[in-house]
Structure 1
Amino acid sequence: MRAAQIIRFGDWRAVAVTTTAVPEPGDGEVLVRVSASSLNTVDVVRRDGRLRMLTGRRLPQGLGIDMVGTVERTGAGVQGFGPGDRVWGIRSDTAGMKNPTGLTADYAVAHAHQIASAPHTLDDVQAAAFAVGGYTALRALRDVARLQPGERVLIRGGTGGVGSAAVQIAAALGGRVAVLASARNEQIARDLGAQEFFDYATASPALVGPTDVILDTVGTDLLRWRRLLTPQGRMVGVAFNSAAGLATIAASIVFGPRRIRTFAGEPPPGSLACVTSFAETHGLRALVHGTFPLEDLQDAHRTFDAQALRGKIVITVAS
């Protein structure tokens, strides 16, 4: 089968599509024939070599932490899934990242708790684009920040992969949504549900004003924006591509309840099923910057490196 891999550490030329054996599902695991997968920041950070302390230096390493497809077969002990079921999944644990086969491949193995039925309201490309962003945004806003109806919420980077999902989820939760993004993306943000829009190139925190909840998908100037929080305000940071940003989040513990919260790692069991239900109930959609067939993997990475993305890059896998 074909699989996307990191074959050396570096720029977009460090990835390749290689041929490898179809993985076998073990106990509790599911083999999925993949239709589509998305390109996430963690893929690029790993490719650059910035996560070698976690994933090690052994190559090749498989690419892709999300996918949508159909169940091919199951390992022993799997209940609730069978051949032909349409599913989506997220496998973002460190062990999975060290594996030579990720989820951007013709076939992928994931544990049964890492997958869920894919939303019937989203096609395969949309589902692949929404999986990680939808999970991240729903957990950040509903479970970590505990956004309440009527509260003002600021989404920094509201037209990226996570941000575009967050705008819709915040609106569905009853928040008054303000977006900070590039001026060229204002109409996109408003179409997603933003009630206020601020151009990041010109808007200062003072212009944006007090807010109850801040979801930061950018990772810079965190303390400067944290000052906007109301007395009971909460801020959640979900950008993990900057050591300085992570250090700022850790140091913010001195602010007690008004610290910058975050979370990382494998989604808890049942999380993705909650995203499926929420997406179907509220008619959520993904913002797709572009699609690339698996054989154009390097072009997908080169496009990601160029920045200025509107939503997610999706890699179509089904042959």
Structure 2
Amino acid sequence: MKAIICNKYGSPDVLELKEAEKPFPTENQVLVKVHAASLNFGNLVLLTGKPFLARFAFGLTKPKYSIPGGDIAGTVEAVGKDVTLFKAGDEVFGDLSGCGWGGFAEYVTVHEYALALKPNNISFEEAAAAPMAGVTALQGLRDKGKIKSGDKVLIYGASGGVGTFAVQIAKAFGAEVTGVCSTRNVEILRSIGADHILDYSKERFTQQQDYYDLVLGVNGSNSLSAYKRVLKRNGNFVHVGGSEAQLYKTLFFGPFISMTGSRKISSLLQRASQKDLNDVKELLETSKVKSIIDKRFKLSEITEAFKYFQEGHAQGKVVITI
């Protein structure tokens, strides 16, 4: 089979399209013929080895997993003897980040609990765009942010992969959503139902008179004090992504700020979850949420796909067709 191989940390130029041995499922595994995959921040970490702390999970001197790729959608080709949830021919999607990665290939073996049945009303590409970004948005809003109907929610970085899912999921919870984005992304946020849109090139969210029950920081390098300034009393700020400096400040100072005041500051470490993946599946099936795809690349164009993704201006998701 063809697969993308990454044997050392570096730029997208270290990725190579090579022939690899087709895997065989063990007792608890499912063999999936991959039709589509997508890029996430975790793929960049696995490629570059940055931030350095991530190497304790991904390999200190070189990548622990030679075939990257977390989000996939495809068709089950075979199952191990102990698999009970799927059968050959099932259309599935899932997040492989918790069980060895390997999605940038024509075939992958994966534990059955990393997968869910693909919604019938969406394409393989739309399904591959959803697992990690959709679950991240869901966990940030519901689990960390404690979102409830009627909440006023600000999503900073609302036009990217996680951001577009977050806007739609927050609306599905009955929240009033304000999305922060650049001028070129205003129409995208309008199309997915954002109630209010702030163009950060024209106005700062801290200059508004609004205060929020929940702020989801998906991207950017704003200070914690800026986010704290727009929170209501007992409001929550959840860091999902952004600059490394912002991450470390949230990890180190967030608990202290939370203990000494009424506003909560926390950081989300997304974890693959079949239950949460099925919750995202239900949102997709009922059309409460849809995948926003910016660009599609072939597997042979993986280097170009990563370079585009690294620029940080993707409108929604970047998808790899296989």
TM-score by length of 1: 0.92
Q: Aligned residue for 1:279?
A: 284
Given the alignment of the two structures, is residue 52 of structure 1 paired with residue 60 of structure 2, yes or no?
A: no
The amino acid of 1:313's aligned partner reads: V
Instruction: Report 1:306-317 matches (<5 A).
Output: 306-317=311-322
- Partner of 2:100, secondary structure, is helix
Secondary structure in 1 aligned to 2:76? strand
Deviation at 1:12, TM superposition (A): 1.8
1:205 Cα shift?
Answer: 3.5
Alignment partner, residue 252 of structure 1: 254
Per-residue CA deviation, residues 137-177 of structure 1 (Å, 9 max, x unaligned), is 11211232121111110011111000011111111111101
The answer (yes or no) to whether the contact 1:121–1:283 under 8 Å persists in 2 is: no
Query: Mapping of 1:14-163 within 5 angstroms?
Result: 14-50=14-50, 51-56=54-59, 57-58=61-62, 61-93=66-98, 96-97=100-101, 102-163=102-163
Secondary structure of the 1:61 match is coil
SS at match of 2:190: helix
Instruction: Give the distance between the partners of 1:29 and 1:263, measured in 2 at CA.
Output: 29
Shift of the 205–306 alpha-carbon distance from structure 1 to 2, 3 Å rule, reads closer
Matched residue type, 1:306: E
Higher mean Cα deviation, 48-57 or 121-130? 48-57
Q: CA deviation at 1:311?
A: 0.9
What SS does the corresponding residue of 1:138 show, helix, strand or coil? helix
Residue in 1 that maps onto 2:169:
169
Could you list the per-position Cα deviations for residues 236-261 of structure 1 after superposition, in whole angstroms to 9, with x for gaps in the alignment? 1111x643222222221012363322
Pairwise CA distance, 1:194: 0.6
1:98-140 CA-partner distances (Å, limit 9, x unpaired): xxxx111101111111100112222111111122211111121
Counterpart of 2:212?
Answer: 211
User: Which residue of structure 1 aligns with residue 237 of structure 2?
Assistant: 235
Deviations 1:190-214 (A, max 9, x none): 1111111111223223323311111
Number of paired residues? 311
Partner of 1:179: 179
User: 273-282 vs 50-59, which deviates more?
Assistant: 50-59
The more displaced of 242-251 and 169-178 is 242-251
Q: Hey, what's the Cα distance between the residues in 1 that align with 2:223 and 2:119?
A: 34
CA deviations 1:22-72 (Å, max 9, x no partner) are 112122111110000001111122212213332112457211011000111
Question: Aligned AA for 2:290?
Answer: R
Paired position in structure 2 for 1:288: 293
Please point out which of 291, 304, 307 is paired with 2:309: 304
Query: Secondary structure of 1:270's partner?
Result: helix
Q: Secondary structure at the match of 1:62?
A: coil
Alignment partners' CA distance in 2, 1:264 and 1:70: 29
Q: CA deviation at 1:222?
A: 4.2
Return closer, same or farther for 1:282/1:173 CA change in 2, 3 Å cut-off. Answer: farther
Q: Which moved more, 1:296-305 or 1:277-286?
A: 277-286
The 8 Å contact of residues 291 and 313 in structure 1, kept in 2 or not, is answered as yes
Checking the alignment, whether the CA contact within 8 Å between 1:6 and 1:16 is kept in structure 2 is: yes
Deviation string, structure 1 residues 72-94 (Cα, Å, up to 9, x no partner): 1111311120000000010113x
Distance 1:140 1:52 in 2: 24
Q: Which moved more, 1:250-259 or 1:289-298?
A: 250-259
Partner-residue secondary structure (3-state), 1:296: helix
Gaps of 5+ in 1: none
TM-score, L = length of structure 2? 0.91
What is the CA–CA distance in structure 2 between the aligned matches of 1:292 and 1:233, rounded to whole Å? 40
Checking the alignment, whether the CA contact within 8 Å between 2:254 and 2:265 is kept in structure 1 is yes
Partner amino acid for 1:197?
I
Equivalents in 2 of 1:114, 1:260: separation in Å?
A: 30
Please give the root-mean-square deviation of Cα atoms over the aligned residues, in Å: 1.8
Q: 1:91 to 1:225 in 2, by over 3 A?
A: same
Secondary structure class of the residue paired with 2:84: coil
Counterpart position of 1:264: 269
One-letter amino acid of the structure 2 residue matched with residue 268 of structure 1: S
